[in-house]
Chain A
């Protein structure tokens, strides 16, 4: 097992550079408000730095970061206790630049309940395998596969029959 100290700013910056975009996208997909995603993003990296955790592998590090991101997203819901979650178009350019059908699919994914949205997003948009997502979310592979299946079924209904198989 290779032990690696993360208590140096150089290393921290390197890791941050590598995973920042992924962490931010996962946070935004989850909380759906840019300002909240900013908060989660900062919280995740503060925790990462302060934890000074030793990782067995790069995959372990990535899984930990995503797992903490998902936990921080949940904390957002409870810390601002009475806040409703509202989908706001923080990124209007997405609608302009993406083909209409893809944008509609993305919007549909974003409006799925959390338990389907997270696996669907990580699987189809970030390209992780079910096993990898299982490692990130601590959800059993079998449960995850059924969440993916149900998520796809919900999307199919939302998209009025269009299949969501890719």
Chain B
């Protein structure tokens, strides 16, 4: 490829002035103007929804839609060919409807309803049986937005359905073929054997065996419970390198760090589960007398701490209350991908109550500087990753002997680790909520905290 050809591309493939103008207007008006819908006539039909939303007297919004599909959504073979997973599942929970892209589609936006579904049997693809997965479905279960001609069915809790799910680019599962993608089979799990004898079940299995192939981009599922795949740390904790990380300027301090043991909990004043609302670094400057520099000599010390604001979701022990927002301040902390707590994430944190001063005024002669700490609470053992609460349970390092002594799943730590984190590559486990609650109780009783 010569330079001239590259220049031709650069001079040809560029935004036209109208696009730049519209973009400038849209961006600075903080509103996106939807560009003309893409219609690839004669090649592939696109789902084009031309919306003219009109409020009905009952408050619902009726959306006349002109949707054309690249598959026949009433044909199981075609829907199976489009889907990545077909499975029998029980609806555990309907988690409500959300509306997206309101900037493009008039009020209230395109509706998506979320469900938690337990996988009972795989027909296409393999999800782990008896584990729940989150699924999003096109459409509004509340009836607020009614898409004309969709003839849809929104499953209820307890329903057993055949789900035809496709993986979206963000890894989530989506039901898109209206009621076909959640074909109701029964309302009781006890009837699974009976279901498998039904004509409808056999028709769906046969359709999957003889699916109509559909060529499209396929994405990796986010679900941590996908058979044949490792339980990835990045999936579990929704790891994102773009997230704000601690950018500390503190100097390296040498300290003797004792290995963690659960008996250290005896030093705790509380064990809480909370969401990290913010993390910031704080610098204290303190001037003390120091005879090393001669008579009247002084030493100026800069001490960095890490200050967390934590919203408490659960109090395992201690005098805090739920929903309380507390400040925690660590004098010692280690930065690293798995070591650092991250904003917006939730952790189980054992807390210690310390002195109000950052330096002991009985030991050093302080000339100037603020020695009052912002918080008397600090993390009990900041030198290993705190226990992170994730959708599937708790991510625990194996230094918590009791917590990982029961049923657990090994986690593959698949993110780039700093030197300080490297030792945790082989020692992280996922512990279910039930097992964790039981084991933590044991630990707290053993430490005399309960």
- When the two chains form their complex, are residues B19 and A42 in contact, meaning their CB atoms are under 8 A apart? yes
- B7 CB, min distance to chain A CBs, angstroms: 10
Knowing A35-B35, A49-B28, A94-B12, say if A82 contacts B69 (CB, 8 Å).
Answer: yes
- When the two chains form their complex, are residues B44 and A38 in contact, meaning their CB atoms are under 8 A apart? no
- When the two chains form their complex, are residues B169 and A75 in contact, meaning their CB atoms are under 8 A apart? yes
Asked whether B199 is an interface residue with its Cβ less than 8 Å from the other chain, the reply is: no
- When the two chains form their complex, are residues B217 and A114 in contact, meaning their CB atoms are under 8 A apart? yes
Knowing A21-B14, A35-B38, A84-B215, say if A78 contacts B170 (CB, 8 Å).
Answer: yes
Asked whether A150 is an interface residue with its Cβ less than 8 Å from the other chain, the reply is: no
Question: Can you list 26 pairs linking A and B with CB atoms under 8 Å apart?
Answer: A13-B24, A21-B15, A24-B15, A25-B9, A33-B38, A38-B15, A38-B19, A39-B35, A41-B15, A42-B33, A49-B27, A50-B30, A77-B169, A78-B169, A80-B38, A80-B46, A83-B46, A84-B44, A84-B216, A88-B40, A91-B13, A94-B13, A97-B12, A106-B5, A114-B217, A125-B6
Asked whether B378 is an interface residue with its Cβ less than 8 Å from the other chain, the reply is: no
Which of A80, A106, A166 has a CB less than 8 Å from the CB of B9? A106
- When the two chains form their complex, are residues A41 and B6 in contact, meaning their CB atoms are under 8 A apart? no
- When the two chains form their complex, are residues B14 and A25 in contact, meaning their CB atoms are under 8 A apart? yes
- When the two chains form their complex, are residues A12 and B10 in contact, meaning their CB atoms are under 8 A apart? no
Interface residues of B (CB under 8 A from A): 1-2, 5-6, 8-10, 12-15, 19-20, 22-24, 26-28, 30, 32-38, 40, 43-48, 69-71, 82, 101, 138, 168-170, 174, 176, 215-217, 241-242, 416
Question: In the complex, which residue of chain A has the Cβ closest to the Cβ of B167?
Answer: A78
**Which residues on A sit within 8 Å (CB–CB) of B40?**
33, 83-84, 86, 88
Question: In the complex, which residue of chain A has the Cβ closest to the Cβ of B103?
Answer: A46
- When the two chains form their complex, are residues B23 and A45 in contact, meaning their CB atoms are under 8 A apart? yes
**Which residues on A sit within 8 Å (CB–CB) of B26?**
42, 45-46
Question: In the complex, which residue of chain B has the Cβ closest to the Cβ of A114?
Answer: B217
Among A38, A41, A48, which residue has the most Cβ atoms of chain B within 10 A?
Answer: A38
State in angstroms the CA–CA spacing of A77 and B46 once bound together.
11
**Which residues on A sit within 8 Å (CB–CB) of B44?**
83-84, 86
- When the two chains form their complex, are residues B1 and A106 in contact, meaning their CB atoms are under 8 A apart? yes
State in angstroms the CA–CA spacing of A21 and B10 once bound together.
8
Contact digits for A33-60, partner B, Cβ 8 Å, 1 yes 0 no: 1011011011101101110000000000
Knowing A12-B28, A78-B169, A94-B9, say if A42 contacts B1 (CB, 8 Å).
Answer: no
Main SS class of interface, A: helix
Knowing A41-B19, A94-B8, say if A81 contacts B38 (CB, 8 Å).
Answer: no
**Which residues on B sit within 8 Å (CB–CB) of A84?**
40, 43-44, 70, 215-216
Minimum-distance CB pairs A-B, first 5: A84-B44, A102-B5, A49-B27, A74-B169, A35-B38
Contact digits for A65-80, partner B, Cβ 8 Å, 1 yes 0 no: 0000000001101111
State in angstroms the CA–CA spacing of A85 and B52 once bound together.
27
- B173 CB, min distance to chain A CBs, angstroms: 12
- A5 CB, min distance to chain B CBs, angstroms: 14
- When the two chains form their complex, are residues B15 and A82 in contact, meaning their CB atoms are under 8 A apart? no
**Which residues on A sit within 8 Å (CB–CB) of B8?**
94, 97-98
Question: In the complex, which residue of chain B has the Cβ closest to the Cβ of A22?
Answer: B10
State in angstroms the CA–CA spacing of A103 and B4 once bound together.
12
- When the two chains form their complex, are residues B14 and A79 in contact, meaning their CB atoms are under 8 A apart? no
**Which residues on B sit within 8 Å (CB–CB) of A49?**
27-28, 30
**Which residues on B sit within 8 Å (CB–CB) of A140?**
416
- A78 CB, min distance to chain B CBs, angstroms: 5
Q: Given known contacts A42-B26, A45-B26, A106-B1, what 6 new A-B pairs fall within 8 Å (CB)?
A: A29-B13, A35-B35, A35-B37, A36-B38, A41-B19, A91-B13
**Which residues on A sit within 8 Å (CB–CB) of B70?**
82-84
**Which residues on A sit within 8 Å (CB–CB) of B34?**
39
Asked whether A129 is an interface residue with its Cβ less than 8 Å from the other chain, the reply is: no
- B237 CB, min distance to chain A CBs, angstroms: 16
- When the two chains form their complex, are residues A80 and B47 in contact, meaning their CB atoms are under 8 A apart? yes
- When the two chains form their complex, are residues B169 and A38 in contact, meaning their CB atoms are under 8 A apart? no
Question: In the complex, which residue of chain B has the Cβ closest to the Cβ of A103?
Answer: B5
State in angstroms the CA–CA spacing of A36 and B44 once bound together.
15
- When the two chains form their complex, are residues B241 and A138 in contact, meaning their CB atoms are under 8 A apart? yes
